[in-house]
Amino acid sequence: MLGKVLLGVVIFIASTTILRAQDKDFESIISRGIAEYDIGNYEEALNFFKQAYKYDKHSDLACYELALTHLALNQNEDAAVLSGKLLSKEGEYNEDAYLINGSAWENLGREHRARKTYKEGIGKYPSNYLLRYNLALSLYNDKEYEEAQEYAINAVELAPDHGSSHLLLAYIMFDKGERVQSMLPLYYFLLIEQDSERSTTAYDLLNALWEQGVRVKGQRDIKLVKAGFHYNDFGAAELAISLIKAGEDNVELADLYGEGSCLISFAKNNKTLFKILGESAIDKSGFWWEFYVNFFTKLEKNNLSEPFSYFISNCKYNEEVLLWLSDNHKEFQRFTTWMEVY
């Protein structure tokens, strides 16, 4: 009898040792897959995650990593199937599975199914800004501007430091024909991101919006053109932009401001715009006034419009900005200090 008991103990110890070894192998394979994924070697990562999934098809981690890698490789059907398995489970990877699943269906041209997935995810995880951003982007691509605007604003409110949400909101408002409401999120996006290709594109759009709606004929005949932009609560700011640019177009900026005239003009115009927006904000409420206008009004009241303007211009005028920074180090330091405590 004692021998049978001892034999049972030995078998238990042996089986436990095997399971631990298998667990270590599984963890090692997953770790190697994640390492490959993080450096962009998606094909290698896929091989490791497939091995891990064979080890344990009940592992949510392996299923999640495999679905994510399939998505990165644009293997959207596989990504949709695997992430779909996680949607039915309550666990650590359930929330992210909604993002993967929605993105996969979107890539497959199944926009309605993707939006249904995003909305279900938002219902379960209302504080997930990426679900709202992805839904807004899907709606924007289908020209559903009103609903897209709603979800983009939600994403901004949930994650003010998510640059893509500001940029998307800017494009939505541009396509709706709202100039000032296109410019405000562009300014904020450039505050977050100044060193990418899309930063340069955003900066160019911002400057194009300053020029939009003004046509000058001769020195004495200045004609303001609405150009499709709406004059709503931001009517005063709309008119101010047109008047400022119309006045500039009648003089040579180099004669007016000297060397570095474009950046000097940009900074002065921003200061004027932010001041007018602050004056227009009296008795106004709502997202645009409480988020964007409130921020830029405080910026202007603290005399920080100039360093802000140079800071966001770095994507386009790097050498000129570095030169300004070397001459105005204290001003820039004051701006960065203010931003840290804002």
pTM above 0.95, yes or no: no
Write down the pLDDT at residue 169. 98
> CB 116: neighbour CB atoms within 10 A?
13
Dihedral of the alpha carbons of 228, 231, 233, 235, in degrees to the nearest 10: 120
Would you say 317 and 296 are in contact if contact means Cβ atoms under 8 Å apart? no
Residue 307 has pLDDT above 90, yes or no: yes
Q: Tens digits of per-residue pLDDT, 28-70?
A: 999 999 999 999 999 999 999 999 999 888 999 999 999 999 9
Least confidently predicted of 27-31, 184-188, 202-206, 334-338: 27-31
What is the token pair recorded at 171? 């494009």
* Among 316, 243, 314, residue whose Cα is nearest residue 273: 243
Residue 18 has pLDDT above 50, yes or no: no
Least confidently predicted of 8-17, 258-267, 295-304: 8-17
Three-state DSSP state, 40: coil
How would residue 13 be classed by pLDDT, with cut points 50, 70 and 90?
very low
* Among 170, 195, 193, 200, residue whose Cα is nearest residue 183: 170
Write down the pLDDT at residue 211. 84
Residue 240, classified by CB atoms within 10 Å of its CB into exposed (0-12), middle (13-18) or buried (19+), is: buried
Residue 233 has pLDDT above 60, yes or no: yes
**Which whole-number Å values give the CA distances from 317 to 59, 199, 268, in the listed order?**
51, 12, 17
